[in-house]
A and B are shown apart, each in its own frame.
Chain A
Amino acid sequence: MTEAVSADKMRRAAPAGQLIDHERSFIFTFDGKPVTAHPGDTIGSALARAGVQILSRSFKYHRPRGLRCCAGHCPNCLVQVGDEPNVRACLRAAQQDMVVEAQNAWPSLRRDALSLTALGDRFLPVGFYYKTFIRPRALWPAYEWVLRHAAGLGRVNADTAPATYDKQYLHADVAVVGGGPAGLSAALAAAQQGARVLLFDENGELGGHTRYKEIDRTAFGRDWGLEINDMQSPIPNLDIYTNTTVLGYYPHNYLAAVRGNRLFKIRAASVVVATGAYEQPLLFANNDLPGIMLGSGVQRLLHLYGVLPGSTAVVVTVNDDGWQVAHDLWRAGATVSAVVDLRSAAPTSQAAAFKEALEGAGARVFLDSTIVAAAGKGAVQEAIIAARGVRGGPTDGGSTRLPCDLIAVSGGWAAANELLYEAGAQIAYHESQGEFLPHALPPGIYAAGRVTGSHSLQSQIKEGREAGSAAAAYCATGKVQENFAHAGERREESAPSVEQDAHHSAIVTDGNGYENVRQGKRFVCFCEDVTDKDVRTAIAEGYRSIELLKRYSTISMGPCQGKMCSVNAILLCAHANGWSVAETGTTTARPPAKPVSLGVLAGQQMEPVKVTPVHDWHRQHGARMMVAGIWLRPEHYGDPTAEVQAVRQRVGLIDVSTLGKFRLTGPDAPQLLERLYVNRWQKLSPGRVRYGLMCNDEGVVLDDGVTACLEPQEYYMTTTSSGAEAVYEWIQWWAQSGWGDGVHVTPVSDVYAAFNLAGPQSRAVLSRLTPDDLSNDHFPYMHVRQMQIAGVPCRVLRIGFTGELSYEIHCPAGYGQFLWEALLEAGADHGISPFGVEAQRILRLEKAHIIVGQDTDALSDPFAAGLAWAVKLDKPAFLGRRSLARVSEQGPALRLAGFKMENGAPPPAEGLQIVQPEGDGALQIIGHVTSSRYSPTLQEAIGLCWLPAAMVVDGQPFTIRLDDGRLVQARVHEGAFYDPKGEKLRT
């Protein structure tokens, strides 16, 4: 049995850890070994408590990496949890029986064979893959295979059942991003003014840095704890979303945020950005060793999880924060062997007390000094420090080696200003603060707290309240308050205060030792393993612009998205180029600000599909369903040939509820029809039905269908199933353009189910269900009647696409299934058969009826499509008239023609080319096949095709080239293949 990693290997911190329930515990596994965790633990905190220091291997050199920020900002703790790759161990809550594994390591995390890559690092300079893997091109698949395996980030299991993802839309007057002191204050202030407020924070609890730092809780005249408590009880107009990360800002205050598997799409009238700041690492040799952590990361482990990450610590700081970190470590039971402050001045009064206590406990204090390197095998064992030289680098006067198992680095702060960038804020480098801070914000965008460079609780709360009030006022008035100055604007006007100076980000531009020391790699970008040497090499190669440097070196393009490296890269770039930071500029921030899974972006699967009122019957009776546009339709019920024979010999029933249907009312309905269709409508009397051909203004066939005149001012139009929505938009377009004053067009496609009862015995079947006279004299071809069928009020059109006597029965959709079953029952002893789309295609092809969109394309006009009879150029005005008049004079170059295959050949596939030999024997493409089927009625293969107009002569032979290159012969057939005179229709 594998022994559990002992929690006693590391001293338990004195503070209990506010999130941890020490009374209960459970087990999960990390690389197969059991690890004890408590409710409240993250994977990272539990591993740290268990003494596990290496959590991952780096991307390129496979160097060991351990916890660094404990805030989800760095890439050091990416692990695989079950089938989910790239989980941040410092954020993901530990759960019982969770299976956690290291990723990007082989054969094991402790002994990763690919770490040998580092030995050949001189052959792997920055941009080496751009230079190396471009030739020979044929080898790229092999290169890719190697690179994918060597530099992967976890593995995706394609067999894993998809998780449930969804999206939610949120709306607010004021959206506040960040639940720290500034954000909380802003949210409360805005809510108190009556605004609808949404507050988002990526952590599980509100409070920001006050959760893990000792603070002056009465900093703003009221106990800060009371502000927090205010948020615990519901405030009607304030909704709080914890564990929610705002990923990006989009135009018009549209925010995207993610919580778990849910994507929020947020629309707000104004936005307060209080996203805080990221603590920064320092550059020194081996600055990536496990055991080197950010000061804030150490404090999170101590105060939130009750974990002491080391027993002997060296703290390196550029501001007062480091002194507090050192003090916290000492109070938690660690030995603080030294505090190294890069500043020459003594700490401010607040930190002076920490210094005094630490010195009293035996800590050595090094002012105006820096860390040169860290040393250790697998984890930090020594810090090498030296006094800073004149230019900030280490002096030549020697260094001091300090044994330790923890180096806490407080390297200053970089404003978390991605959202402000995306919102269009003007952001500039403030020399006095050493930070990129906003100094001009777009209307409706506000910023408060550390993101504006405010590092005291007092100023954060004050700024938050002001921003929240201003944002609420903006919502109410739509205007920015007069005389309101954003925090950044005010800061620009004032000299830095002592407090600000104490916190200023001292990522010094003249370096902190990297130039003169050769004791190991100094990583700028931990995600992509980019060192300061790589940066300088890239600049020497000409990639001097920070944007080019980013693309060439891939700095800031990894999982941290620049949170740990952008500022250092900019400072290095400025230094190497001899430019100021302002001249160097910044890279462009784009969403998402933090990694997000594709599943979250996809959300719930929504693929709208329409079904007819008889859909369930079709499925229950063995229909093979097919997708037709957005509809599901029965393709056939097992044997389309038998279905064709049933229609030709007896009677068949097809569900055509998918047809587009429109109600046209009003005195000007005939005029609108005249203009929409190429044929004539004025004299269509009530009770009559007419085929209509619709063209666009270029004379191209758009759609076809039949329209019935029900009453003098009421028409019922049908369109093709797939064309219904486009036709409605087309009609609306022209109706709104002045042709629709005296007519209303109402879509009623879904109001009516529609069935076509077709076949020589259809009249006999229908007559069983209605008392109406169905004889040819009383109800002739191309007429419409209102009648009761099986007690259902129906509109019956005597039309047919199949070429047989047929009735298209339209009934209120709610009766659809009842009527369908009634018709089948009535036709049972006539051998009625339901038939699907496939049989209908064969039946219509036997009649040489076209399907718009299949037999026509975006260039087909009625003359070419064999529909010249429908075009009435003597009408005064209709869509396409001018174009069609021109075509009529010139004649079409190509024509749609029917054909039969020769020598019993099977039907050619639709789309095949029709070819003709040239003089040199080469084959010229002269047309193509649009429809083809084997006709059970004719016992031969038939089809429709496009041919040069001159070839469309009955009996004209031509050649079709099959997919495999063989040539087969066919002959033109003019007119319908079946019942060419249309006698059966009119029977």
Chain B
Amino acid sequence: MMAEKQTPIYDIARSQGAAFVDIGGWLVVDAFGGEQKSIPAMTRDVALLDRSARAKVLVDGAAASAVVERAWDVPHLAVNGGAVHAQGAVYRLRHDRYFLSAPPGLEATLESTTARAMRQEDGLLTITDVTHGQAELWLLGPAAAELLSRLCGLDFHPASFPNLTARESSVAKTAQLVIRCDAARQRAYAIVGARSLGAYLWQTIIEAAHDLNLLLCGEALLLALESSKERDAGS
């Protein structure tokens, strides 16, 4: 029997009719049964995705900034700022803490690439793979900010919370990292927090969206949306 990795939403998503696909050794929601399988539905209101399988690595240390910039060739970031690179994205959470994010299965790459950039003079630096320990739920679509504002006191106006911003805050009374990570030309927010709270947060978001036509969405629909936007851009 092959070892399978399950996200914290696996059981609840299965009960909600999800079909799964293997990505990077993880069982990831491909599609929800009975979902409105249309891209317009996804771009009209708000979609909820379980993206907990994404690779997540913390880099701690006084020299974290220098190491991350060297490793990933990203510009110097202000605290709460972020940047994308070829493998994923980096976010500066504090003066001495970075959060690295990438598609599922790339956690080892994130770790090793960062470690290789370390120099003797950088001092103590700790790289921790927290992929398994954190749920990552995405809200995507025009109503994503409104839905999030029902659970979190941060100001999500684009001027205050532009794309690639990451802030730690309370979401539905739990400690979470909120990241603006627009995708497929849609506004999107990743909510990253303790894995053990993932199922609670998933259900709480669904309840908070009682009047927002929330679409439970899998990777297939997101991929289709991204493809359609790329086609639109090409044409």
> Do A and B interact?
yes
Interface residue ranges, A against B (CB under 8 Å) = 164, 166-171, 196, 265, 267, 604, 606-613, 615-616, 631, 657, 663, 665-667, 742-744, 746, 748-752, 790-792, 812-819, 822
- Cα–Cα distance between A751 and B131 once the two chains are bound (Å): 7
Asked if B196 and A818 sit within 8 Å, CB to CB, the answer is no
B1-41 CB contact bits vs A (8 Å, 1 = yes)? 11111111011000000000000001000000000000000
- Cα–Cα distance between A615 and B8 once the two chains are bound (Å): 10
Closest to A609 in B: B200
Asked if A616 and B132 sit within 8 Å, CB to CB, the answer is no
Asked if B5 and A604 sit within 8 Å, CB to CB, the answer is no
- If A169-B149, A169-B153 touch, whether A610 touches B133 (CB-CB below 8 Å) is no
Q: Which residues of B contact A612 (CB under 8 A)?
A: 196
| Residue of B6, B146, B153 touching A816 (CB-CB under 8 A) | B6
Asked if B60 and A744 sit within 8 Å, CB to CB, the answer is yes
Asked if A746 and B132 sit within 8 Å, CB to CB, the answer is no
- Cα–Cα distance between A611 and B7 once the two chains are bound (Å): 12
Asked if A604 and B132 sit within 8 Å, CB to CB, the answer is no
Q: Which residues of A contact B5 (CB under 8 A)?
A: 812, 814-815, 818
Q: Is B115 an interface residue (CB 8 A)?
A: no
Asked if A166 and B3 sit within 8 Å, CB to CB, the answer is no
Asked if B172 and A608 sit within 8 Å, CB to CB, the answer is yes
- If A746-B58, A751-B130 touch, whether A168 touches B196 (CB-CB below 8 Å) is no
Q: Which residues of A contact B128 (CB under 8 A)?
A: 663, 746, 748, 751
Asked if B207 and A604 sit within 8 Å, CB to CB, the answer is yes
The A-contacting residues of B in range 139-189, CB under 8 angstroms, are 146, 149-150, 152-155, 157, 159-160, 172-174
Q: Which residues of B contact A667 (CB under 8 A)?
A: 124
Query: Shortest beta-carbon distance, A347 to chain B, in Å?
Result: 50
Asked if B200 and A750 sit within 8 Å, CB to CB, the answer is no
Asked if A822 and B1 sit within 8 Å, CB to CB, the answer is yes
Query: Shortest beta-carbon distance, B221 to chain A, in Å?
Result: 23
- Count of B residues near A, CB < 8 Å? 47
Asked if B124 and A742 sit within 8 Å, CB to CB, the answer is yes
Closest 9 A/B residue pairs (Cβ): A751-B133, A814-B5, A616-B11, A610-B196, A171-B155, A750-B133, A812-B132, A744-B126, A750-B195
Asked if B157 and A814 sit within 8 Å, CB to CB, the answer is no
Q: Is B204 an interface residue (CB 8 A)?
A: yes
Q: Which residues of B contact A613 (CB under 8 A)?
A: 6, 8, 195
Query: Shortest beta-carbon distance, B137 to chain A, in Å?
Result: 14
Asked if A164 and B210 sit within 8 Å, CB to CB, the answer is yes
- Cα–Cα distance between A13 and B141 once the two chains are bound (Å): 48
Query: Shortest beta-carbon distance, A794 to chain B, in Å?
Result: 11
- Cα–Cα distance between A733 and B210 once the two chains are bound (Å): 41
Q: Which residues of B contact A610 (CB under 8 A)?
A: 194, 196-197, 200
- Cα–Cα distance between A814 and B11 once the two chains are bound (Å): 12
A-B contact count (CB 8 A): 125
Point out which of B132, B194, B199 has the most chain A C-beta atoms below 10 A from its C-beta.
B132
- If A171-B155, A667-B124 touch, whether A790 touches B3 (CB-CB below 8 Å) is yes
Q: Which residues of A contact B88 (CB under 8 A)?
A: none
Q: Can you list 5 pairs linking A and B with CB atoms under 8 Å apart?
A: A171-B160, A608-B200, A750-B132, A750-B195, A751-B128
- Cα–Cα distance between A607 and B172 once the two chains are bound (Å): 8
Q: Which residues of B contact A609 (CB under 8 A)?
A: 197, 200
Q: Which residues of B contact A608 (CB under 8 A)?
A: 172-174, 197, 200
| Residue of A166, A611, A748 touching B196 (CB-CB under 8 A) | A611
B72-115 CB contact bits vs A (8 Å, 1 = yes)? 00000000000000000000000000000000000000000000
- Cα–Cα distance between A818 and B129 once the two chains are bound (Å): 20
| Residue of A267, A665, A744, A748 touching B133 (CB-CB under 8 A) | A748
Asked if B134 and A750 sit within 8 Å, CB to CB, the answer is yes
- If A166-B150, A609-B200, A744-B60 touch, whether A817 touches B6 (CB-CB below 8 Å) is yes
Q: Is B63 an interface residue (CB 8 A)?
A: no
Asked if A604 and B6 sit within 8 Å, CB to CB, the answer is no
- Cα–Cα distance between A742 and B7 once the two chains are bound (Å): 34
Q: Which residues of A contact B126 (CB under 8 A)?
A: 663, 665-666, 744, 746
- Cα–Cα distance between A955 and B3 once the two chains are bound (Å): 53
Closest to B52 in A: A814
Q: Is B208 an interface residue (CB 8 A)?
A: yes
Q: Which residues of A contact B11 (CB under 8 A)?
A: 615-616
Asked if A791 and B2 sit within 8 Å, CB to CB, the answer is yes
Q: Which residues of B contact A616 (CB under 8 A)?
A: 11
- If A168-B150, A611-B199, A791-B3 touch, whether A606 touches B133 (CB-CB below 8 Å) is no
| Residue of A168, A169, A615 touching B199 (CB-CB under 8 A) | A615
| Residue of B1, B26, B204 touching A606 (CB-CB under 8 A) | B204
- Cα–Cα distance between A930 and B32 once the two chains are bound (Å): 50
Asked if A265 and B153 sit within 8 Å, CB to CB, the answer is yes
Asked if B26 and A814 sit within 8 Å, CB to CB, the answer is yes
Q: Which residues of B contact A743 (CB under 8 A)?
A: 124
Q: Which residues of A contact B2 (CB under 8 A)?
A: 791
| Residue of A171, A814, A822 touching B6 (CB-CB under 8 A) | A814
Asked if B133 and A749 sit within 8 Å, CB to CB, the answer is yes
Q: Which residues of A contact B173 (CB under 8 A)?
A: 606-608
Sample of 15 further A-B pairs with CB below 8 A, known A267-B155, A818-B1: A166-B210, A168-B150, A169-B149, A267-B153, A604-B150, A606-B172, A606-B204, A608-B173, A610-B196, A746-B60, A748-B133, A749-B133, A790-B1, A815-B3, A818-B3
Asked if B153 and A751 sit within 8 Å, CB to CB, the answer is no
Asked if A196 and B194 sit within 8 Å, CB to CB, the answer is no
Query: Shortest beta-carbon distance, B197 to chain A, in Å?
Result: 6
| Residue of A196, A631, A665, A813 touching B132 (CB-CB under 8 A) | A813
Query: Shortest beta-carbon distance, A49 to chain B, in Å?
Result: 32
| Residue of B155, B195, B208 touching A813 (CB-CB under 8 A) | B195
- Cα–Cα distance between A609 and B204 once the two chains are bound (Å): 11
- Cα–Cα distance between A607 and B200 once the two chains are bound (Å): 8
- Cα–Cα distance between A606 and B201 once the two chains are bound (Å): 9
Q: Which residues of B contact A663 (CB under 8 A)?
A: 126, 128
Closest to B161 in A: A171
Asked if A744 and B124 sit within 8 Å, CB to CB, the answer is yes
Closest to B130 in A: A751
Q: Which residues of A contact B132 (CB under 8 A)?
A: 750-752, 812-815
Q: Which residues of A contact B58 (CB under 8 A)?
A: 746
Query: Shortest beta-carbon distance, A795 to chain B, in Å?
Result: 13
Query: Shortest beta-carbon distance, B112 to chain A, in Å?
Result: 16
- If A606-B173, A612-B196, A791-B3 touch, whether A813 touches B210 (CB-CB below 8 Å) is no
- Cα–Cα distance between A817 and B27 once the two chains are bound (Å): 12
Closest to B194 in A: A750
- If A813-B195, A814-B5, A822-B1 touch, whether A744 touches B61 (CB-CB below 8 Å) is yes
Q: Which residues of A contact B149 (CB under 8 A)?
A: 168-170
Asked if B157 and A171 sit within 8 Å, CB to CB, the answer is yes
Closest to B148 in A: A169
Q: Which residues of B contact A170 (CB under 8 A)?
A: 149
Query: Shortest beta-carbon distance, A601 to chain B, in Å?
Result: 15
Closest to A612 in B: B196
